[in-house]
Structure 1
Amino acid sequence: MKFNFFYLKSVTTKISFILLVLLIISCNAVKKVKDNQHLLTENKIFVNNEEISTRQIYDQLYQEPNAKLPLFGIPLKLHIYNAANPQPDTLFYNWLHKKPKREKRLIRWFSKKQLEQIGQSYVGLHKYLEEIGEAPVVVSEQKSESSSTRLKAWYWNHGWFNAETDYKINKLEHKRAKVDYYIKTHQPYKLDSISERIASPQADSIYQLHKEESFIKKGAQFETDKFNAERERIVNLFRNNGLYHFEQEYISFEADTINTDHQVNIDLVIADRQITKEDTTYTVPYHAHFISDVNIITDYKYQNRNNAIKDSASYKGYTLYSFDELKYKPEAIADAVFIKKGQVYRDLDRSLTYRRMNQLGIFKYPDIQYMADPRDSTGTNLITNIFLTPKPKFGVNYDFDISRSNIQDFGIGFGGSLSIRNIFGGAETLEIGGRGSIGSSKDAADSDDKFFNISEIGADVNLSFPKIAFPINTDGIIPKSMFPFTTISAGVSSQQNIGLDKQNVTGKFNYKWYPSQELTQKLDLVDLQYVRNLNSGNYFNVYENSFSRLNEIAQDNYDQVNASYFETDDDPTDDNLPDLSIPDGTTAFINDINNGVYTLTSDESQTASDIIERRDRLTQDNLILATSFSYIKNTRENIYDQEFTQFRLKLEMAGNTLSLIAPLLNFDKNSSNNYNLFGVQFSQYGKVETDFIKHWDLGQQNVLAIRALGGIAIPYGNSNDIPFARSFFAGGANDNRGWQAYDLGPGSTGGINEFNEANMKITLNAEYRFNLFGQLNSAFFVDAGNIWNVLDNVEDEESKFTSLSDLSELAVSSGLGLRYDFSFFVIRLDVGFKTYNPAYNKQKWFQEYNFSNAVYNVGINYPF
């Protein structure tokens, strides 16, 4: 979590003051509406006497009522605007001089300069209120008439050429009014005959080959948008088939509707190219152009423009030039260029080259220019010149953040990375990074009365290069037009006084490519993770709930348990029995249970079995060697796009390769008859994760967002459980916000452990987002979800998913949030209430629906 606390404090203070002002002012919505004016409260559109609600049609109106808060229907921004005094300087001056001695007294208290600053702040506040508020929308006869005309144009553009529109302003009491719009569509016009008049034979030939792709179809209703789309299609078609000089202005459509009985006859006209030379204008037919040369200047700078070229190289029809010694392997640069010598000119090739060069990350935005080849007498050959300006060889980045989590009450994180571009001359990027953190935790293994009593340090190295590194050629499967990358990475980290003090070693070898602008695919061929627990004896200090339950069993059977297992107590009584010592007493007691030393009740045996299974799993070292494939589709065009769909699917398999070679190489086996590698039992499982997100733009900065997330991981072969690092958890700022992270589930157990996790998860989220004022947004949300154990070694029935009836254990939370948009990121505060808690036996709804049991989540950016 990264943000400036002082800036946030300033923003929060300003918001609090504004809200305080709103509480004490009158909520008269027509406060600034003149006596001869009326506040617009509602628009209604009737099509053929039926009211409609289509957002696209309402968007044609020039006036909409002031934005209102969802559910409450309060025009908050209007009230903020009304709170601002139109003449704050005069108001302050009058107040200052209302009493003869007031100004002198204030100057004596503050000084004259400070008093002037107070006056400026007062004026500034009222201007700020006007800025973030919204002026009253006053009904305008002219704008209503213009809206009616615009509605008629909208229906005309959709084929209703004879549509009639009208409007009526309904003036109400208290200076308010509504506007009704009436539309009679009549019979729509449909496309009949479609003919072409294309002057250039070569252009006509290209068009005829792709005629079936036309957006204009006989029998379809007339739509202007389809003609615009067809015009763009023709331009793209011609410019991607060699017609370098073709422009959209040469395309026109002629429509005939005279005596056609609501049919439209279309004539497509494509004229020859016009050339103006001095005072003479003449036309020439279009011809296909071809690329005769591709020149790449690899170190272009403006100050080098008149310098002589010092180095050059040729590779597969490309010629690379440099004003200094050539620092790039020709094949690496040429592979990022899609414009090829001898091929027909295509806009697409230029666009692909722009995109690929930007992806490399070693050049600034390239400049691609075409010029007529002076050696060609036919005038159809083009020389391509590509000017590349290198970015600096080295790049340095620093990170600093302040955070809070389940593990630490307060933490400071820091890190940095060094990027080395084109390190081996093949457009590779090497990134070396380090990270660390210190924090304070009451659960630290050895606090030693220090505030900063936990720490973590780590380092990473990452090498990325723009191709698929594989023994055989993969161009037939993943061509370079999919912009492939190969990445090799490794990382190490170590924790001190954090839980069990883990050492973590990771390594990855993956491929990423982009079949389309919306689609990303990723293959982690090798995903290696080794987790070593350095302080397993601290388990019951960390997982205190597990210790409490185990200790209760020991105390209930105090007479059977060896007294040395307990902490020293000179005078134990039935009401004050000693606790098991950690780790010696707990370890010995568990060994006795496993050996059947005690006579326990069935409930005690089940509880003890669950505690022992969880302890064994969370204290064992993990070795994971996995392969995964990710499919990601995202229709979002940019960060400002509010209506889009995202879909992610990840398939992961772990341990299969090791399982195949284990018997061949005679790996050692442990007491559970499973294979070990380097003394660690390797994990074997299959895992599926999927995530679907959909956003709808409802207009006026209102957005409806939903998410459905699910996952399951099944152990088999060499494993009977899923490693903690690859399991699922529920709750938290981006999940089920009525519960803290790791506090929810599994199933109906009620989150009895400190860190609850399982191998199956379902999460459903919905948010209605809206603007309050200025950059401050809000949202109402409902979250549902839980985690379960399935097909693993957990025996507790309450935590297992056995049938569809267990979907009744989906926990539900609801709440509201505030989000402040800083343009480059959003800081978010969500308040979640437990709405349906499956852990309760009887009344599950609204038992903890209050602020004392609410969960306050602070996050960066939106949860989904």
Structure 2
Amino acid sequence: MTIRIRFSLFILACLTLAACSTTRSLKPGQILYTGAEIRINPDSSVKIADQKSVKENLLDKTRPKPNSAFLGIKYGLMIYNLAGEPKKPTGGIRNWLRKKGQAPVLLSEVKLPYNNAVLTSYLISQGYLQSNVAGDTVIKGKKGKAIYTANTGIRYKINSVTFPKDSGGLTRIVNEHKDKTLLKAGNFYDLDIFKNERERIDNDLKEQGYFYFSPDYLILQVDSTIGKNLVDIRVKVKDIAPDAGLKPYTIKNINIFPNYSLRRDSALRKSAPEIYNDFRIYDPRHTFKPLLFNRLVFFKKDELYNRKDHNQSLNRMVNIGAFQAVKAEFVPIDSFRNDQLDLNIYLTPLKKNSLTFSVTGTSKSNNFVGSEVKLTQTTRNLFRGAEQLDVSASGGFESQFGSGASQGLNSYSFTAEGKLTFPRFITPFKEINSTNAYIPKTVALLSYQLLHRGSLYNINSFKGQYGYKWNENKYKEHAFNPISVNYVTSGLLTSDSAKKDSILNVTPGLINVLEKQFIIGSTYSFTYTNQFEDYRRNTMYLNATLETGGNVWGMFAGKNKEGNKAIAGIALNRFVRIEADFRDYFKVTKTVTWANRIDLGYGYAYGNQTTLPFVRQFFAGGTNDIRAWAARSIGPGTYYYKNDPAVVNSNYIDQSGDIKALISSELRFKMVSRLYGAAFVDAGNIWLRKKNPEDKRQGTEFQLKNALNEFAVGTGAGLRVDASIFVIRLDVAFPIRKPYNEEGKRWVLNEVDFGSGAWRKDNLVYNIGIGYPF
């Protein structure tokens, strides 16, 4: 056993002992609080439905929370105890460790009467109208816990629901929509549903002009005296509701201040407005074209106020990306005596120009680099219609070291890009207007990328693209580029013809990378996500992309001397490429997340090609893929470049394919402060759809019946430092299934030996990345 391993075991033992002695810093008389226990109807035969969920909700409402732990180890308390008592009030390592750690939570901090009241109130809100909770404490040595006994009684159900009977305008609207009520006879009494019902009625009224109505003006009277654990509910408008809340309002004047600031408030109000349709626009500097507000403001003069137009107008003004502050003010005319409102819209533009710096990580299967730094110059409102021009320069890198990683073959890229975005659909036929809350966009893009692949070759990629992006709703986004043009050239990094021939002879497949490529086609992408909804326990992300090359646009191309479709003598790449990337995130606890990913890709090349062009092929391995192998070193199929005697230059490992399957599962957990840990498993491979007769590699073609048997599988663990604006990641991985081994010997779990230096050298791969792998 080496000194390094012995030292690691010594440190591990020290940490374990420190974790166990959680009470050693307690003063005499202090008891460490270890948590709460909930007991429901322990002395009764009454059993409630969904008892496990009710227990979890009750437990979550107890205060205080005990010291946090993972796998039974209280890391925060462990660090606090390791720090010991500081010798001075500020500064020093002890004070720093104590701030990063967590002080012991004491049993004396538990307030039983308060918790009893909170838990009883929750049970009553859920329909257990005769419930009560009694708490007590149990002490064992220097540790103690709280035990809460809940006697719930039988949960009440709704017997009937009655709505107001009078024939006024407000109650007429309430009754017109009562079939949508959330209060159903036979359902359980639930205070949360009562609140939602009041908000539903309020929303219906807001759509009909009742601007000043509030859910608080409604009362749900509950009669629980009818017996049989049933309640009758009567929906009623409170007698004390103000008159302003009981009548509908119409919009009189719509005043827009597009270049507003408090400093210029009085001057703007005194300026002469420009009358455009139903709007009075106060913009003496003509900062924006009046036509823009047709797409931003949905209200019309003399129509009833409604919440839908209100929300859509605000969303559009916020999402257009031209304003740093947006405010809509509804002012009653003549102090509520009539039923009209003036609408004042105050818009403060963002600065015309801005410069931003960003650090990002990429995870697309055909990206060359895993991380990049980017500098972007943004010019807003370019043509006075809220257009935006972004000019950016970025540099990326990809690096791994360990087993299979090419020595001295780190990749880097440089990208220059110009992107012009119009906040509307622009088509050759007619401008298309959308009416939802999201701004449609037309995007024109030009870019250049240089990829430097170690000391082997450079790739130059020129791209032009024109297309559209729009949101169907807050979850779904579409992007359609009817035309995308990509011209790719490349070359070896040597001018010596003999050396060039030597490299090509010992590096099979490199010739495919060095061919000029001209790709003209269309792309469509669909994205669904609900990750922004933090209240969800389970969130997901889906991106599906369809790309065609040379299909429609190829009809306008000529032919080269070989008879293939070509432009300027360069053969067009003709293909269809589909990729779907699905990710699921499940919160096991508040500090533990289980993340999963499935990435599937398929490419079909036709015409004069048998495989996809190199820049559109799929790769496996790398910092955001199967992390137990170096980037682009897996496959295709059962092929492995190290087992090929024809491959002399093993630094070149750009293995690629037309078909890809990737499955990843990762358990992420918070350790302390901003330090997070992870344990993961990655599996998958790439294949060729159809093998080129000149390709001498064996086992590269896809066969459905053999696909699972040809999966590479790797596992490992990692540390992540989450600095809010970016995440620095270090993952260590090793293979446990090698698809290139002969059948029956592909699983190599029995070979895992962390104590062997030779095994570590041949199998451990260290991944350094920015951002999460998915």
TM-score, normalization by structure 1 = 0.76
2:84 counterpart of 1:85? yes
Report the equivalent of 1:814.
Answer: 715
The residue identity in structure 2 corresponding to 1:862 is: Y
1:241-288 Cα deviation digits (max 9, x unpaired): 21011112201111111133111111111236744xxxxxxx467222
CA change 1:679–1:79 in 2 (3 A) is same
Report the equivalent of 2:198.
Answer: 231
Tell me the distance in 2 between the aligned counterparts of 1:420 and 1:387: 22
**C-alpha root-mean-square deviation of aligned residues, in Å?**
3.8
Tell me the distance in 2 between the aligned counterparts of 1:765 and 1:843: 19
CA change 1:136–1:585 in 2 (3 A) is closer
SS in 1 for 2:707: helix
2:763 counterpart of 1:862? no
Checking the alignment, whether the CA contact within 8 Å between 1:626 and 1:653 is kept in structure 2 is: yes
Checking the alignment, whether the CA contact within 8 Å between 2:116 and 2:134 is kept in structure 1 is: yes
2:32 counterpart of 1:39? yes
CA change 1:437–1:37 in 2 (3 A) is closer
2:661 counterpart of 1:762? yes
CA change 1:161–1:497 in 2 (3 A) is closer
Report the equivalent of 2:5.
Answer: none
CA change 1:229–1:751 in 2 (3 A) is farther
Checking the alignment, whether the CA contact within 8 Å between 1:333 and 1:426 is kept in structure 2 is: no
Checking the alignment, whether the CA contact within 8 Å between 1:246 and 1:273 is kept in structure 2 is: no
Report the equivalent of 1:571.
Answer: none
Matched ranges for 1:415-426 at <5 A: 416-426=375-385
The residue identity in structure 1 corresponding to 2:723 is: F
CA change 1:82–1:253 in 2 (3 A) is same
1:455-507 Cα deviation digits (max 9, x unpaired): 8655322111110111345757x435332011101112446786432221101
Checking the alignment, whether the CA contact within 8 Å between 2:359 and 2:726 is kept in structure 1 is: no
2:86 counterpart of 1:127? no
Tell me the distance in 2 between the aligned counterparts of 1:817 and 1:727: 29
CA change 1:687–1:181 in 2 (3 A) is farther
The residue identity in structure 1 corresponding to 2:156 is: Y
2:691 counterpart of 1:724? no
Report the equivalent of 1:28.
Answer: 21
Tell me the distance in 2 between the aligned counterparts of 1:840 and 1:454: 28
Shift of 1:386: 0.9
Identify which of 287, 310, 316 aligns with 2:277.
316
Checking the alignment, whether the CA contact within 8 Å between 1:695 and 1:703 is kept in structure 2 is: yes
Report the equivalent of 1:463.
Answer: 420
Identify which of 282, 294, 306 aligns with 1:346.
306
2:181 counterpart of 1:220? no
CA change 1:795–1:353 in 2 (3 A) is farther
Matched ranges for 1:676-715 at <5 A: 676-715=566-605
The residue identity in structure 2 corresponding to 1:859 is: G
Matched ranges for 1:420-435 at <5 A: 420-435=379-394
Matched ranges for 1:379-778 at <5 A: 379-397=338-356, 416-435=375-394, 458-473=415-430, 475=432, 478-494=434-450, 499-535=456-492, 581-584=498-501, 614-637=509-532, 643-662=538-557, 667-671=558-562, 673-752=563-642, 754-778=653-677
The residue identity in structure 1 corresponding to 2:80 is: Y
Tell me the distance in 1 between the aligned counterparts of 2:346 and 2:15: 58
1:575-603 Cα deviation digits (max 9, x unpaired): xxxxxx5334677x7xxxxxxxxxxxxxx
CA change 1:757–1:378 in 2 (3 A) is same
Checking the alignment, whether the CA contact within 8 Å between 2:457 and 2:490 is kept in structure 1 is: yes
| More divergent stretch after superposition (453-462 vs 691-700) | 453-462
Checking the alignment, whether the CA contact within 8 Å between 1:730 and 1:742 is kept in structure 2 is: yes
The residue identity in structure 2 corresponding to 1:75 is: K
1:224-250 Cα deviation digits (max 9, x unpaired): 111121122222222232101111220
Tell me the distance in 1 between the aligned counterparts of 2:325 and 2:536: 24
Shift of 1:530: 0.8
| More divergent stretch after superposition (675-684 vs 193-202) | 193-202
The residue identity in structure 2 corresponding to 1:338 is: F
Checking the alignment, whether the CA contact within 8 Å between 1:231 and 1:251 is kept in structure 2 is: yes
SS in 2 for 1:88: coil
Tell me the distance in 2 between the aligned counterparts of 1:194 and 1:21: 65
TM-score, normalization by structure 2 = 0.84
Report the equivalent of 2:7.
Answer: none
SS in 1 for 2:285: coil
Tell me the distance in 2 between the aligned counterparts of 1:764 and 1:439: 21
SS in 1 for 2:266: coil
Shift of 1:167: 5.4
2:256 counterpart of 1:288? no
The residue identity in structure 2 corresponding to 1:66 is: N
1:636-687 Cα deviation digits (max 9, x unpaired): 226898752222222222221133334xxxx22354x432221211112222
2:756 counterpart of 1:800? no
Identify which of 242, 254, 263 aligns with 2:209.
242
Report the equivalent of 1:605.
Answer: none
Report the equivalent of 1:15.
Answer: none
Checking the alignment, whether the CA contact within 8 Å between 2:355 and 2:375 is kept in structure 1 is: yes
SS in 2 for 1:482: coil
Aligned residue-pair number: 723
2:733 counterpart of 1:832? yes
Shift of 1:21: 8.9
Checking the alignment, whether the CA contact within 8 Å between 1:629 and 1:652 is kept in structure 2 is: yes
Shift of 1:212: 2.3
Tell me the distance in 2 between the aligned counterparts of 1:683 and 1:838: 31
The residue identity in structure 1 corresponding to 2:341 is: L
CA change 1:402–1:62 in 2 (3 A) is closer
1:537-561 Cα deviation digits (max 9, x unpaired): 88xx9xxxxxxxxxxxxxxxxxxxx
Provide the identity percentage: 26
Shift of 1:63: 4.5
Report the equivalent of 2:123.
Answer: 155
Checking the alignment, whether the CA contact within 8 Å between 1:63 and 1:144 is kept in structure 2 is: no
1:17-66 Cα deviation digits (max 9, x unpaired): x9999589684111133554543446544445698476444312324443
Tell me the distance in 1 between the aligned counterparts of 2:209 and 2:635: 62
Tell me the distance in 1 between the aligned counterparts of 2:159 and 2:272: 62
Checking the alignment, whether the CA contact within 8 Å between 1:685 and 1:713 is kept in structure 2 is: yes
Tell me the distance in 2 between the aligned counterparts of 1:253 and 1:156: 16
Identify which of 113, 130, 154 aligns with 1:187.
154
Tell me the distance in 2 between the aligned counterparts of 1:511 and 1:633: 17
Q: Per chain length, whose mean CA-contact separation is higher, i.e. which structure has more relative contact order (CA < 8 Å, sep 6+)?
A: 2
Shift of 1:860: 1.9
1:735-783 Cα deviation digits (max 9, x unpaired): 2221222122222223555112212222222222222112212122222
SS in 2 for 1:197: coil
Report the equivalent of 1:595.
Answer: none
SS in 2 for 1:501: strand
